[in-house]
Structure 1
Amino acid sequence: MKKKEYRFYSYKLHMVKEQEIRFLSDQAIYNSFSGSKLIKKVIRQLGQTDRENFVVVMLNTKLIPIGTNLVSTGSLTSCIVQPREIIKAALNMPCKALILGHNHPSGDSSPSMEDKLITLMIMASAQLFDVDILDHIIVDMDSDAYLSFADEKIIEDTKRKVRSVLDQISRMQTKIGSKETS
């Protein structure tokens, strides 16, 4: 019996520059205030301000923005975000750190439980690839109001949770490995 040949393809990934965003003459982002201004600028330029938009800003080792990606545009009250889309963008750029950001069209910049959960999922995913999440900033597009997960210590708490989970995984792998060798 003759076997049918199976075909598949090789691919190359290329980042495509879509548009230029000018912001503070390539200054490093050292605090949540400048981060919130950057997130607003990106959403205004790439998103739809009457809807929730989720963006990621990629930073080099000197914390200078080198790229951004509009990850999702949703509805008035939510948008769907997959950690894989954030990580995919980060891995295709020479970046060391990310700032996550989104807007709340309601004007209330308080984080929802979903906001905290997606941040945890993104941080856990990013940790596996040695990409640091510096902040997640929720902005109000009509005022100077914003909330920084870093300022509120949510990033710090989430990093502890991620380390704890990864430590548990490592211990489980060690146990499995020792059982396989015995």
Structure 2
Amino acid sequence: MTRPTPPATPEEALDSAFRLLARGVADRRSPFHTPTLATVATDGTPNLRTVVLRAFDPATRRIRIHTDRRSAKVAEIAARPRVMLHGYDAGAQVQLRIAGDATLHLDDAEAEAAWAGSRAMSRMVYATPHAPGATLDTPTAAPQDAEGGRENFAVVTFILDRLDWLLLAHEGHRRARFAWDGAGALSAAWVAP
């Protein structure tokens, strides 16, 4: 992606951020297709991993990712639902840091709809008999039965309530911070990079 014209207002920066997230859902080559998700591990340390951005609704600020319910992130979110996403587009030189409180969807309509909308290749990831992070004697072959993974499939959603947008530019970095209160009212401001 080419570097955008620097926005003149924080609201333009927010529009730019939302466009990058929407593109991340639609374009597998977008750097925002695979952001980094941060949770707090059970021992209190930060835990990071790359996830696939499956859905983003700018009107509601709702983000969706998929995961294996046996993964550490599920237990971490259940214990402490506060999460952050981080993405960086080197071409545009834009970094996004996004925060919100996550909700786990295991056997509800949200999980069923996401499973039904997933491609067979994506479903096979969840069909492995081993939980993510399990110790193995040797690597195992990829599962061939895509339907066998539904019991391991989970959805994580959150409404972003904080967003930090940073543009790196030779003529001067620009940074904007956004926060939504419980009623959805937005506060936006330029901040020092």
- From the two aligned structures, give the one with the greater helix fraction: 1
Q: Which has the higher contact order (CA 8 A, sep 6+)?
A: 2
- From the two aligned structures, give the one with the greater strand fraction: 2
Q: Which has the larger radius of gyration?
A: 1
TM-score of the aligned structures, taking structure 2 as reference length: 0.29
